[in-house]
Amino acid sequence: MSATVLLGVTVTGISANAVWGAKPTGLIGATAAANIAKKAVGNNAQVEDVELERKNGKVYYEVDLQQGDKDWDIDVDAYTGKTIRSHSELDHDSNDESSLNKPNHITLTEKQAGQIALKHVPGSILSSKLDKEDGQFIYEVEVHTNEGTVELEIHALSGAIVDTDEDDDDNEY
């Protein structure tokens, strides 16, 4: 009966070990969830927090990890150990500007991104930089044309043009 009552309560922001001191039958446990999350991210990641959560009838462990310049949130099903969700973002608390350096898995160079932009919009490159937007690495390339300036966003893995923004030099109102 007490296990049923505990499962009916939404647990948010409380340590999994504090709420589930005596692990209900079938839960994998906070330690196992942390190990599963570390394996998904890389064994050198540091576990910062493990919380047992319940949302929409689903019970899972939310594991917060730190690996290099990234913060990771991994949700692990509390019963099966299956990874439900994985999310990472650059650690904004870090004052190290190397966090925007090109990650090892990106093979497209800044020069190649510029060449892709110039094939799409003839002109001359004013600027280009690697940026991270919505969890995706993109190159922002600004091209000067006869008609004005065009800013292109190019996916850093695929080379696909994600967005184009044209700014005409015509200032008449």
5 or 127, which is more confident? 127
117 or 6, which is more confident? 117
Tens of pLDDT, residues 42-96: 878 888 888 888 888 889 998 988 887 788 888 999 999 998 888 777 665 444 4
Tens of pLDDT, residues 119-141: 999 999 888 888 887 778 889 89
Tens of pLDDT, residues 153-162: 999 888 999 8
Residue 104's pLDDT is: 65
Rounded-to-integer distance, Cα 4 and Cα 2, Å: 5
Q: Tokens for 26?
A: 């079938």
Strands (E), the chain: 46-55, 58-67, 70-77, 83-90, 124-133, 136-144, 148-155, 161-168
128, 113 contact by CB (below 8 A): yes
Rounded-to-integer distance, Cα 36 and Cα 81, Å: 7
